[in-house]
């Protein structure tokens, strides 16, 4: 599975650096937000602000880089894809 990452500003109230994650059909599957360096829990990491379809749910993990975020998204969607 291949994804396209497109930068976007996200109005979270504090962390605005974001990435839209689009699938091969250019459908929005997730929005990631980079947590500020001042964040006390996960400074500089990428946070799953919103997931759509199979990525929607209670889990909002953080990732140290976008490659790890892509791996997680790929795994989640691969396990849910219809045969």
Q: What is the band of 25 on the pLDDT scale with cuts at 50, 70, 90?
A: very high
pLDDT of 83 reads 44
**Residue 7 and residue 66 in contact, taking contact as beta carbons nearer than 8 Å:** no
Number of domains comprising the chain: 1
Band of the pLDDT at 2, cuts 50, 70, 90? confident
Give CA–CA dist 51/53, Å, rounded: 7
Domain span at residue 71?
4-80
Q: What is the pLDDT of residues 28-71, one digit of tens each?
A: 999 999 998 888 889 899 999 999 988 988 889 999 999 999 99
**Residue 80 pLDDT > 90, yes or no?**
no
Chain length of the chain? 83
**Distance from C-alpha of 65 to C-alpha of 26, rounded to nearest angstrom:** 22
Could you tell me which of 58, 73, 59, 80 has the C-alpha nearest to residue 5? 73
Tokens of 64: 């140290």
């Amino acid at each position: 599975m291949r994804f396209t990452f497109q930068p976007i500003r996200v109005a979270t109230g504090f962390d605005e650096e974001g990435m839209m994650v689009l699938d091969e059909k250019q459908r929005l599957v997730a929005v990631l937000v980079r947590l500020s360096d001042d964040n006390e829990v996960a400074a500089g990491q990428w946070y799953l602000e919103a997931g759509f379809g199979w990525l929607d749910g209670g889990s909002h993990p953080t990732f140290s880089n976008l490659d790890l975020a892509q791996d997680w998204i790929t795994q989640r969607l691969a396990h849910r894809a219809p045969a």
